[in-house]
Amino acid sequence: MGKGGTKFCGDAVSVRRKAAPHDTAKNIKRNLDKFLETGVHPEIERARQERANQLPALPDLDVHRPFVFLDITLAGKPLGRLVVEMFDDVVPVAANHFRNRCMPGSAAGLAGTAFHKLLPRYALHGGLRGGGGGGGRPGAGASSSLSGDGGVRLQPNSQLRAVEGGLVAVALSGDEVVISLDRALDLDRTHQVVGRIHRGAELLTSLGDLRTLPDDSPAQRLAVARAGPTNHLGSHEELTGAGAGEGAGQPKDAATRLAEQAEEARSSLMWVPAMFGDALSEGLKRKRKPDAADEEGAAAAAASAAAAAEGTGPSSSGADAGAAAAAAAAAPGSQRPAAAPPARSVKARMLDSMLGDLGSDASSSSSSDEEEDGEDGGGS
């Protein structure tokens, strides 16, 4: 080392002694010599390692967070289901972006996409939309519908890092999805952790042991067959149209769901006629068909009155007329005591009152029409 280098070391040692007064000059000079030889300062490297070891802990499990499922297939055969817990309370924008891509009907949905890169004991890369070649790798020029100008740009968050396997991360450009198979801190530079695999973590071991091609793509097509929202058990699927029949598991469009909801609302209103049908029939029967006993009593009273009128003649006195009225009142039909009316429900009484109002309105309207006709006749 020449004279200039010796002067540089001396100045650097003096500056460093002011910054770190508890360090010895011999130690500082040794570190500077190593830095000049290797380009790596031992003290700076030690501080970097300490920061790397102080990794933030992942959030605890919370079943109230949203969950999504990913059904994985290998060469078209079902391999298993992954249930992912979303950290929407820590990274809401990135987590909702990934969750929206899992929704059925999404233009950039994960259903049908293949994993194009598999790095054993590191990470599994997928989620790109585009033409795929053999083994599920994207074709030349394939790109995501989310990338490019005006696409999604997510902000990194240092609270969530890829510190262990079983974490789900999304590229900051919003297109690629990565599942970590082990600690993968290098992913933090280009990806953001958005969730953690809650169920199906045992599937990651078999995924990491799959055979790969020289370009790190899986030898067989490894894809996401279906995706969607679910609960923490992975047993409930929303908006997926799961059910019996040939179309089970296929997502329903908005028009179909709207028609089903309208049919449910229509069927729920069918209880109104069913509830008032019996009461309406009973009320109409009472209005249209009088009691037979009442008809017999009225006929007998009329016959008695007629007989009394014939026997007395026109010169009958008022007493005879009263006797005839008494005889009419003493007819067999009128002698029978009035039977108690049968117990009727509130609905029948309400309908009777409604029918009575309708009858009175009809009679008043007919009388008014007759009066108008009479006036027209007199005027003419």
The whole-angstrom separation of Cα 179 and Cα 126 is 8
- DSSP assignment of 137-205: -B-TT---TT-STT---PPP-TTS---SSSEEEEETTS--EEEESS--GGGGGTEEEEEEEEE-TTHHH
pLDDT score recorded for residue 16: 55
Please, which pLDDT band fits residue 230 given cuts at 50, 70 and 90? Answer: very high
pLDDT score recorded for residue 282: 67
pTM: 0.50
Q: Any alpha helices (H) in the chain, and if so which ranges? A: 3-19, 25-38, 42-53, 92-102, 203-208, 254-268, 271-288, 292-312, 318-329, 332-335, 346-379
Q: Strand pairing partners for 180?
A: 123
Which is higher by pLDDT, 52 or 182?
A: 182
114 CB-side CA count, 13 A: 23
pLDDT score recorded for residue 1: 47
pLDDT score recorded for residue 60: 92
The mean-pLDDT minimum among 109-113, 190-194, 309-313 falls in 309-313
Mind listing the pLDDT tens digit for each residue in 55-80?
888 999 999 999 999 999 999 999 99
The mean-pLDDT minimum among 121-130, 155-164, 227-236, 270-279 falls in 270-279
Mind listing the pLDDT tens digit for each residue in 283-334?
666 655 555 555 566 666 666 666 655 554 444 444 454 554 555 455 444 4
Q: For residue 221, what are the CA distances in angstroms to 116, 176, 376?
A: 9, 17, 94
Mind listing the pLDDT tens digit for each residue in 252-267?
556 676 777 777 777 7
Instruction: Supply the mean pLDDT for the chain.
Output: 73
Cβ atoms 301, 334 nearer than 8 A: yes
Q: Which of 195, 219, 183 is nearest to 110 (CA)?
A: 195
pLDDT score recorded for residue 319: 47
